[in-house]
Amino acid sequence: HGEASEVAVETPNGTVYFGQHHPVAVVAGPCSVENEAMIVETARRVQAAGATFLRGGAYKPRTSPYAFQGHGESALELLAAAREASGLGIITEVMDAADLDKIVEVADVVQVGARNMQNFSLLKKVGAQPKPVLLKRGMSATIEEWLMAAEYILAAGNPNVILCERGIRTFDRQYARNTLDLAVIPVLRSLTHLPIMIDPSHGTGKAEYVPAMSLAALAAGTDSLMIEVHPNPAKALSDGPQSLTPERFDSLMQELSVIGKAV
């Protein structure tokens, strides 16, 4: 490996850096883009709290085909409106290569979700487009498999890959949705130069556990965080139980700023 690499992204509010030698970048926002008012309000509020990127799904990988699937293309327009209103960079997920071109028009960083970590044809395609890629760890992927998936993107010509730990499947799902593997932070540091992101929201599945795991991730040296925030978690169309309110997110940002690398 050698030198740590950084991913620099131009946003309306300035360049955001994901990497070891920069302040921790915080990506926040709802699981799904539900409507214009909620995405714009969330964007403004997480920006005011110190986030530099907005997340929000337009195309959602749901376990049940009867669950809300995301608003698709119209949600991309709402993300563009939220970018305009807040100045935040945008991260959104691509599930199908057929949607990639229109996603790339709006997204500053393209997300490949856990369920597609080894969708090799999709990895080759995101590797052949210019926007940085956030590669989430598959829910049962070894670190070796994850790094090889990243290698597909790099080999296709895109050097800007961020690795996101989002919890893995272990034997106990009674108390937490997934097991957040924070040990990957030092492990990845020893194996790769790529920037690291931790997602304690999908990692635990419960809002009440998110602050502790965010603080722990920062203490362990993560380069960035992804946190789900919803203006009314009880009414969220997806992942409400793990979403922070904007108020709780704001207080978490203050708690995080006490630990080392300021956000």
With vertex at residue 55, the alpha carbon angle to CA 213 and CA 73, rounded to the nearest 5 degrees, is 150
Q: Which residue is nearest to Mn ion (CB)?
A: 31
By a kind-dependent CB cut-off of 5 to 8 A, residue 260 interacts, out of Mn ion, ligand PEP, none, with: none
Q: Which is nearer to ligand PEP, 26 or 114 (CB)?
A: 114
Helix orientation angle between 143-155 and 120-127, rounded to the nearest 10 degrees: 40
Q: Give the HSE-up count for residue 20: Cα atoms under 13 Å, Cβ half-sphere.
A: 15
Helix orientation angle between 246-256 and 36-49, rounded to the nearest 10 degrees: 20
Question: Could you give the CA distance from residue 170 to residue 153 in angstroms, rounded to a whole number?
Answer: 27
Taking the complex as a whole, the smallest distance from the CB of residue 75 to ligand PEP amounts, in Å, to 13
By a kind-dependent CB cut-off of 5 to 8 A, residue 206 interacts, out of ligand PEP, Mn ion, none, with: none
Does the footprint of Mn ion cover residue 244 (CB under 5 A)? no
Does the footprint of Mn ion cover residue 165 (CB under 5 A)? no
Q: Are 45 and 56 in contact (CB under 8 A)?
A: no
By a kind-dependent CB cut-off of 5 to 8 A, residue 113 interacts, out of ligand PEP, Mn ion, none, with: ligand PEP
Q: Which is nearer to ligand PEP, 136 or 230 (CB)?
A: 136
Q: Which is nearer to ligand PEP, 92 or 160 (CB)?
A: 92
Does the footprint of Mn ion cover residue 93 (CB under 5 A)? no
